Amino acid sequence: LNLTSQMGRHHEVKFGGDYRGYKLRQFIISPAAISRLGANNVTDITQVPKADWVSNALPNNYGYDIYGNEADVDKFEDGVKVSQKPYEPVFAAFYVQDKIEYNDLIINAGLRFDYFDSKGRRFKDINAPIDQIVDANTNQLL
């Protein structure tokens, strides 16, 4: 969205914004797990116990369950994470600009704000207070 308006003789004001959201999905499993399925004559991976499938296939997925079916929620069964919701990152921006014109002098002045939220995995903030980095009970890094 962008709007432009001539405000008097000397000012041309522009403002606008942008918003984009996405849904990211990924499904990766160990190739060795696939070869083991064929070697063991398994024709349906849902026949393999969940805990065995997760420990052997090592699924790295979001937006899918451990078997490759689309999933929109985090779900646990029998202590095993069987699905993870997709990441939905957001990109947004807003700007305002004034073009000031006096005789031979033209000044473009403006501000822009950009926003990004990955809504996914993040590194720990190493500048955070120590109580947010180290578990006080176990002295382990969080």
89-112 pLDDT per residue, tens? 999 999 999 999 999 999 999 999
141 in any annotated domain: no
Q: Which domain holds residue 66?
A: 26-83
Task: Give the pLDDT confidence score for residue 130 in this predicted structure.
Answer: 59
Same domain, 30 and 66: yes
Residue whose entry in the numeric block shows the structure tokens 């065995």: 52
135 in any annotated domain: no
Same domain, 73 and 39: yes
Residue 132 banded pLDDT, cuts 50, 70, 90:
low
Same domain, 42 and 7: no
75 in any annotated domain: yes
Q: How far is CA 3 from the centre of its chain?
A: 30
Same domain, 41 and 60: yes
The total number of structural domains that make up the chain: 2
Nearest to 67 by CA among 82, 51, 52, 87: 82
pTM score, two decimals? 0.65
